[in-house]
């Protein structure tokens, strides 16, 4: 949105996100995710600290420092520091095994990267470390699957109706469908930057753009209440 609004005023902003969930490694993720922040920290912190020019140990320390700073930049709290350090440790491990030529199959590399990033988001989103640990404990607690009460609660969701565009769905089926659709879009569709490089000169292109605008407008006016700007918290 920022790039598009900037172009309306003839201001060309740099690309900042480039389909990060397609990444096959944590290093690639950060080359695609918040690219301007990554470039800023690299230029004004990583390089002045010595970058990778002062030996392997100093390189890994520098990586941990810039990721810790990245966490603090997002929020002054231990959850953000832990989130940053998790990414820093993962980047060090990734750099180490790449140095020794270790490679994973494409799907496994994506699967591990995708799940690591989403598990780390728990700390990013949680209001406290204790809350984050509770969420992670629940996510990986196998005993929940063996609990009759837990299973009964989950089965109730199959009978919970929801509506979308006037159509009624079972809540679980609807959530599953939307997750599959969004994952497919994230992994296989062109992102907004790539689409902006195309020229929709055909009638079909006009219909496509009009449909996107209609859906986006419908979602905004029917599903969202007013909320403060997200970066007010940072």
Cβ contact 35:17 at 8 Å: yes
Q: Is 161 helix (H, G, I), strand (E, B) or coil?
A: strand
Cα angle: 156, vertex 160, 163; to 5 degrees: 160
Catalytic residue, chosen from 34, 74, 87, 159, is: 74
* Catalytic status, residue 74: yes
Alpha carbon distances (Å) from 109 to 22, 23, 105: 10, 8, 6
Cα angle: 86, vertex 227, 19; to 5 degrees: 45
Tell me how crowded residue 58 is: count the other CB atoms within 10 A of its CB.
14
Cβ contact 113:23 at 8 Å: yes
Using CA atoms of 195, 3, 46, 234 in order, give the dihedral in degrees to the nearest 10.
-120
Known catalytic residues are 74
């Amino acid at each position: 949105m920022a790039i598009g609004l900037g172009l309306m005023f003839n201001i060309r902003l740099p690309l900042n996100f480039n389909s990060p969930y397609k990444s096959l490694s944590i290093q690639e993720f950060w080359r695609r995710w918040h690219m301007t922040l990554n470039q800023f920290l690299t230029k004004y912190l990583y390089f002045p600290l010595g970058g990778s020019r002062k030996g392997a140990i100093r390189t890994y320390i520098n990586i941990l420092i810039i990721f810790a700073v990245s966490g603090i930049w997002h929020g002054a709290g231990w959850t953000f520091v832990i989130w940053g350090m998790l990414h820093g440790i993962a980047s060090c491990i990734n750099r180490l095994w790449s140095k020794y030529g270790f490679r994973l199959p494409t799907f496994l590399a994506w699967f591990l990267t995708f799940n690591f990033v989403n598990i780390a988001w728990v700390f990013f989103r949680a209001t406290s470390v204790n809350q984050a640990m509770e969420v992670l404990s629940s996510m990986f607690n196998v005993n929940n699957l063996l609990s009759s009460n837990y299973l009964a609660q989950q089965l109730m969701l199959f009978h919970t109706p929801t509506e979308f565009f006037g159509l009624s769905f079972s809540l679980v089926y609807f959530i599953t469908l939307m997750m599959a659709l969004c994952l497919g879009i994230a992994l296989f569709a062109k992102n907004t930057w790539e689409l902006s490089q195309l020229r929709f000169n055909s009638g079909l292109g006009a219909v496509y753009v009009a449909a996107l605008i209609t859906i986006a407008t419908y979602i905004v006016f029917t599903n969202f209440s007013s909320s403060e700007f997200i970066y007010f918290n940072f």
